[in-house]
């Protein structure tokens, strides 16, 4: 916020939000905005590496081909969720 004064402009910055306040605010956002925020934060925290991106694309294609050919069989999501709960103790 800007406020005029005789000596020029004064800038008032509100108190920064806590992480908990940010999470509560973001929970009210549409999913598309949340996804955009996460993508932007991830890009800031982990800048893109073209070689790494290409390696992941190749790995993803390989895994999809293994599943589609029947070489590898997927694990049902409920089984995965149960295993995660066991690991984290919930």
From first to last of its 90 residues, the chain has per-residue pLDDT tens of 545 455 566 666 677 889 999 999 999 999 999 999 998 888 888 788 899 989 999 999 999 999 999 999 999 999 999 999 999 987
How far is 60 from 85, CA to CA, in rounded Å?
Answer: 26
Which tokens belong to 19?
């992480």
Overall pTM surpassing 0.95 (yes/no): no
pLDDT of residue 44: 82
Angstrom distance (rounded) from CA 53 to CA 44:
15
């Amino acid at each position: 916020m800007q406020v005029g004064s005789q000596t020029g402009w004064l800038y008032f910055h509100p108190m920064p939000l806590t992480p908990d306040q940010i999470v509560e605010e973001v929970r009210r956002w549409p999913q598309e905005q949340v996804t955009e925020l996460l993508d932007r934060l991830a890009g800031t925290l982990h800048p893109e590496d073209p070689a790494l991106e290409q390696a992941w694309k190749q790995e993803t294609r390989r895994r999809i081909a293994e599943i589609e050919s029947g070489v590898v069989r997927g694990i049902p999501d409920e089984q995965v969720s149960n295993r995660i709960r066991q690991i984290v103790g919930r």
